[in-house]
Amino acid sequence: MNLTMSAAPAHVPVLLEETIEALNVQPGGRYIDCTIGPGGHAAAILENSSPGGQLLGIDADPQAIKMARVRLDAYGDSVLLVNQNFANLKSICTKHGFSPVHGILFDLGLSSVQLEKNNRGFSFRHDSLLDMRLSPRQEVTADIIVNSSPENQLARLIKDYGEERHSHQIARHIVRQRPITTSLQLAQTVEQAVGGRRGRIHPATRTFQALRIAVNHELENLKSALEQAVDLLGFGGRLVIISYHSLEDRIAKQFMHQQASGEAATLSLINKKVITPSLAEVHYNPRSRSAKLRAAERISMPKENNGG
C-alpha cells in the first residue's frame, strides 16, 4: 500500500492507513470524500487508485475546497471538487454523473486548520467572533443562538448536542452575561458556570460542540447523507465513517447495523468492532484520540444504478 503524502500541511489525516484499507482502494476505482477538508485522505485515495482512479470531493466549507484544490492539483481531471453540504450527496452525484462508486468516506471531524487558523469561533484557543458556520451561505450563526435563545431552549441544546450535565447552569450564566460575541467570552462564561477548570478537557468543550452541531445541522445532515450513500455504492462498494463523539458514532453504528440486518440487508459489516487509533498515532496526533472508524460493504445491487 502506497501512502506517501505530498508536502505535509498542518492538518494530519486521522486513521489514514486504516481508511485506505477499509475502503479497499483499487486502481481505476471511483471514490467520494464527503468531507474533503485539506485533502489528506483524498490524496492517499488518489495515490492508491492510480492509474485511472477518480475522486469526487465535497465540503460545505469554501476554504476547505480551496485548500484541497491546491493539495490535489497534480491529479488534474481525476479530481472533481464541489462546495456543497453532503446532505445533497445524491443530487451532486446525479448532476456530475458520478455513480455507482467503489467507496464513500465520511470523516466527520473539523480539521486542525478549521480549529486553529480561522476566525469563525470553532475553538476557544483563539479569540474570534461567534460564527461557527461551515458555509457562509448559512443564515444562523452561533452568535444568534447564544444571544437570542430562551434559557430553557439553550440548556436543552447544550445537553442534547453536547451531552453536558451542567447544561442548565451554563445556560443560566450565558443568559446573565449576554451579549456574548466572541469565543473567549463564551469559554470564560462556561468556565465560571461550572466553577473553573476540572477534568482533562476544557469545561467549554461540550458547549462549543453543541453550538457547532446546532448551527450546521450536523446530525440531521449525517442521517440524510448516509441514506443517500447506500444507493450510490456499486456491488462490493465500501462505506467508511470516522466519527469523533458519541452522537455521530451512535448514528453511524445504528445505521450500519440496521442496513446489515434482515433479509433485505444492503450492507455487510467489515469491522465487527470499532477501529480506533494506535497509541503511536495518538502520540504524534493527539486530535485523533477520540476517532472511531466503522466500515461496511454493499452486498445487494443498487436499485437505480444496476451495477458496481
Q: Which three cell numbers stand for residue 20?
A: 485506505
Task: Tell me the pLDDT tens digit for each residue of 178-202.
Answer: 999 999 999 999 999 998 766 678 8
Mean pLDDT lowest for which of 56-65, 127-136, 197-206?
Answer: 197-206
Residue 113 has pLDDT above 80, yes or no: no
Residue 176 has pLDDT above 80, yes or no: yes
Give the integer Cα–Cα distance in Å for 220 and 63: 23
Task: Tell me the pLDDT tens digit for each residue of 204-245.
Answer: 999 999 999 999 999 999 999 999 999 999 999 999 999 999
Residue 60 banded pLDDT, cuts 50, 70, 90: very high
Task: Give the length of the chain.
Answer: 308
Sheet holding 233-243, edge to edge: 79-82, 54-58, 30-33, 101-107, 233-243, 292-298, 267-269
HEC string for 234-300 = EEEEEEEEEECCHHHHHHHHHHHHHHCCCCCCCEEECCCCCECCCHHHHHHCHHHHHCEEEEEEECC
pLDDT at 269: 97
Overall pTM surpassing 0.95 (yes/no): no
Residue 117 banded pLDDT, cuts 50, 70, 90: low
Any idea which fold 16-113+218-298 has?
A: Rossmann fold (3.40.50)
Any idea which fold 118-216 has?
A: DNA polymerase; domain 1 (1.10.150)
Task: Tell me the pLDDT tens digit for each residue of 139-166.
Answer: 999 999 999 999 999 999 999 999 999 9
Residue 7 banded pLDDT, cuts 50, 70, 90: very low
Among the residues of the chain, which ranges form H helices? Answer: 16-23, 40-48, 62-71, 89-96, 112-116, 142-148, 151-162, 167-177, 183-193, 205-216, 218-232, 246-259, 279-284
Average pLDDT in the 284-289 region? 91
pLDDT at 120: 82
- Segments making up each domain of the chain, as ranges: 16-113+218-298, 118-216
Task: Tell me the pLDDT tens digit for each residue of 260-272.
Answer: 999 899 999 998 8
Residue 306 has pLDDT above 50, yes or no: no
Residue 118 banded pLDDT, cuts 50, 70, 90: low
pLDDT at 115: 60
